[in-house]
Structure 1
Amino acid sequence: MTSLHSKQSGFTLIELLIVTLLLSLIMAVGTYSYSLFVDNWQKELGNFNRTKNFTVSVQRVDRLLENVYPYVLIKNNAEAGLLFVGSKSGLLSVTYNGLFNDGSPEVFRISKIENENGRFDLIYQAMSLKYVNIIHEDQPIEFTHKVEIVKDVSDVDFNYYGWSSFRLKSQSTNNEQPKWSSKYSALNTQLLPEKMTMTIKRDNKSVILRYAYDLESERWLSSYSDSET
């Protein structure tokens, strides 16, 4: 007679505890890995959006500055000059392609302003010349638009290359040449600068925008009898 011995099947309690622990560890590692992935993705996405916004802003600045043109004003001494007054931290002038372009030129002021973080924003103020003419040097300019065009950068720096006066240019010799300067007033020189650069520093990187302007901008003054010739 053959006897049959039954055998126990399944897991012991210890084995179940070990399996449960291993599954918990796998889930914890998976959750942590997913959390790291999401954090990195959000960080990269944030960096991408900031870089995209910065690039778009710089392109807008570039378009308006490359379309600066010689706008004639009458100075207080009755001589004619051009509306272009630049410093190391900003510029007042006229552009054909302003940010609030309504089909007319736009007088604008672009300025570097320190923000609460100790960094800098680039502020753009503008007024359309569609219904208003600026004729005299002391005529007030009432800007109707204001916007932060570039935000939270390390620094912004303007430089100008041009003659110190129309007279010096007209009487120039080989020894007389235009020079770079951190300030330039076409009201005084009666000439636009021949070149201008704007350097935007963002953390450890710099973007340098370069512009070349009318080399014979004095011709815009030829119809004004009181201008120097």
Structure 2
Amino acid sequence: MIRRKKSSGFTLIEILIAMLVLSIVMFIGSLSFSTFSQRWQQDMGSFTQEVATAKNLVLLQKALNGASNYIVKDDKDDKDEAVYFFKGNDKYLLFVTNNPVFNTDGQALIRLSVTVLADGKQQLRYEETPFGLSPLLRLSSLPKSNYSQILLTDNDIRFNFYGWEDQKQRTAFFEGEPMAPKWMKEYFGEKTGMLPYAVNITWGNNEPIIFPLLNDNRYQMFYAREKSTDA
């Protein structure tokens, strides 16, 4: 009697089940990789943006630290008097710096302005005008910018200024009265007769970043000299 050998292969049902299990495993792996890849791209994009913002803020710090005690003519109302050039409120800032970002030779006029985009976001734009050929002489004739760059894109970008409201307060402080500088939403050199001590910039939910300005000691030196002469 001839005996038939049992087949050692897989049945069609076993093959189909194995293929189904393999397909499920591959689908789960592909989905996990896709999710990880998207998350990685988002994290890298956020990291790259943060690095770019940090670099731009370093450049802004350089320009603000070099803010110059620049004097111009104010010909408004036919006064034609010499005033400090520094103008700013919570959405724009104009000043002269000894440390421009683009043009490293000499001084430059700096404009910082906040503009609102179509999606509601805000952009902080840096504009620079070097003084190589035409120095700034009057408030009424500000030259156009030669260089421009976006420093920051976020929500609710704003400036604040730390300093004296006027020379009377500063004088009272040096005479011993309980006066102190304060943070203000606007600061105009033609009114205060000096630069602020610091400028801060705030955006979104971030803590303010404070940029100190190098103030001249002309007034303090004059006052100290007068006091020593009286003594």
TM-score, normalising length from structure 1? 0.83
1:15 and 2:32 correspond: no
Is 1:159 the equivalent of 2:168?
A: no
Q: Percent identity?
A: 26
More off after superposition, 170-179 vs 7-16: 170-179
- SS of equivalent residue, structure 1 residue 206: coil
Post-superposition shift, 1:3? 6.6
1:79 Cα deviation from its structure 2 partner: 2.9
Pick the aligned partner of 1:108 from 110, 113, 135: 110
Q: How far did residue 68 of structure 1 move?
A: 0.8
Deviations, residues 45-99 of structure 1 (Å, cap 9, x unaligned):
2222222222222222222112111111122224321111111112110112222
What corresponds to 1:127 in structure 2?
129
SS in structure 1 at match of 2:157: strand
Q: Aligned with 1:7: secondary structure?
A: coil
Residues 158 and 198 of structure 1 are in contact (CA less than 8 Å); yes or no, is this contact kept in structure 2? yes
Contact 1:72-1:82 at 8 Å conserved across structures: yes
Measure how far apart 1:215 and its partner are.
Answer: 4.7
Moved more, 82-91 or 95-104: 95-104
Letter matched to residue 68 of structure 2: Y
CA distance 1:140–1:37, shift in 2 (3 Å): closer
Matching residue of 1:68 = 67
- Which one-letter code corresponds to 2:184 in the other structure? S
1-side partners of 2:169 and 2:30: how far apart?
A: 73
Deviations 1:170-201 (A, max 9, x none): 455313433332111112222111232222x2
User: In the alignment, is residue 185 of structure 1 matched against residue 185 of structure 2?
Assistant: no
Aligned to 1:206: 207
- How far the C-alpha of 1:132 sits from its partner, in A, is 1.3
- 2:27: which partner in 1? 28
- Counterpart CA distance in 2 for 1:109 and 1:218 is 27
Counterpart for residue 38 of structure 1: 37
Query: Which structure 2 residue ranges, 5 or more long, are not aligned?
Result: 221-231
Q: Look up the equivalent residue of 1:17 and give its one-letter code.
A: L
1:226 alignment partner in structure 2? none
SS in 2 for 1:121: strand
More displaced stretch, 105-114 vs 130-139: 130-139
Structural RMSD (CA): 2.3
- TM-score in terms of structure 2 length: 0.82
2:48 corresponds to which residue?
Answer: 49
Q: How many residues align?
A: 215
